[in-house]
Amino acid sequence: MAQPILITGGAGYIGSHTARHLTANGAKCVIADNLVYGHREAVPIGAVFELVDLADRAALKALFGKYNFAAVVHFAAFAYVGESVTDPQKYYANNLIGTLNLLEAMLGAGVKKIVFSSTCATYGEPQYTPIDEAHPQHPINPYGVTKLAIERVFADYEKAYGLRHISLRYFNAAGAAADSAIGESHTPETHLIPLVLKAIKGETPPIKIFGTDYDTPDGTCVRDYIHVEDLAVAHQLALEKLGSFCGCLNLATGVGTSVREVIAAAEAVTGKRCPVEIAPRRAGDPAKLYAAADKAREILGWQPRYTEIKETIRTAWNWEQNRKF
């Protein structure tokens, strides 16, 4: 029987889409999640669920004793940038120590393959765009620092212990499963696309546009929105490449979309007006973040299927109208 894959944080947004994709493609997935932010309902049929917190070293050891894992896909982390600034202890403890505990259990069981959920937040303020993997990494918040530190830990563990690792640096994850079975569900929600859709539904107050005086074509911030199902595919490809490649890859579309363009696209998709309010800039928001993902194309043979922001928003809207959790 095929060895299972461990997916930490597999009940979360990107983790659950990846678990679903891997399961649909015949992998046996074990999902370890503490359900602090994850959703039990997001675990795909066919995957095994284990309630485990990465702070619990004994539970991790037991987990690796119970299953003969072939590899790990590691999503489990706190990911609120603003909270990481006000409560860095929470982020260093959970993200960094949690990962060290995971690596300890992996190496103890002889599991040496890991695909990791990293982020464009490891780059900090861009010195040039599109951002490639060689761009200097100077994260400007503790969240980004934890993710960068983990990338560095992997490089040292590779040299010392033969760890095989691929860190996938996502730009702005967006959208939902094409069949709307799962999608984005954060509490609190802070991300632009779900907030725009909730404002359109009249569920929340008008969307606040954080700054209209940036040095961008329409004055609002530009981001690279990458569909969550394209991210899921990249994780599968990365798992297959762990034998021949170690390192970091950007996952992005290469296309920058402004806040106003996101709102206009959401209005076109929904056929409804989005109430907006102009608000001051949000601290720590660079004007433009978009990436070159040529390296992922070259190494993984990966190509995003969703290149139109409207199509990405359409999947988010279908999910938003009929959310299951």
In the complex, the residues that contact ligand UDP under the rule CB under 6 A are 172, 190-192, 195, 207-210, 221, 223, 259, 282, 285
Q: How far is the CB of 219 from ligand UDP (least distance, A)?
A: 11
**141: which residues sit within 8 A by CB, 6+ positions away?**
81, 84, 85, 121, 284
- Of 69 and 123, CB closest to ligand UDP: 123
147, 122 contact by CB (below 8 A): yes
Q: How far is the CB of 55 from ligand UDP (least distance, A)?
A: 25
Q: How far is the CB of 232 from ligand UDP (least distance, A)?
A: 19
Count of beta carbons in the 10 Å neighbourhood of residue 110: 9
- Of 28 and 208, CB closest to ligand UDP: 208
Secondary structure letter of residue 64 according to DSSP: H
Q: List helix spans (H) across the chain.
A: 13-24, 57-66, 81-86, 88-91, 98-108, 142-161, 192-201, 228-241, 259-270, 294-300, 309-321
Gap between the Cα atoms of 193 and 312, Å rounded: 10
What is the chain's length?
325
Look up tokens 């675990």; give the residue.
43
Q: How far is the CB of 153 from ligand UDP (least distance, A)?
A: 23
- Side chain identity, residue 180: S
- Of 59 and 209, CB closest to ligand UDP: 209
143, 78 contact by CB (below 8 A): yes
251, 230 contact by CB (below 8 A): yes
Whether 143 is catalytic is yes
- Of 106 and 316, CB closest to ligand UDP: 316
Catalytic residue among 91, 143, 225, 290: 143
Q: How far is the CB of 132 from ligand UDP (least distance, A)?
A: 18
- Of 117 and 236, CB closest to ligand UDP: 117
Q: How far is the CB of 67 from ligand UDP (least distance, A)?
A: 33
Q: 136-143 — which CB contacts under 8 Å span 24+ positions?
A: 140/284, 141/81, 141/84, 141/85, 141/284, 142/84, 142/85, 142/88, 142/91, 142/92, 143/78, 143/79, 143/80, 143/81, 143/84, 143/91, 143/95, 143/119
Active site residues: 143
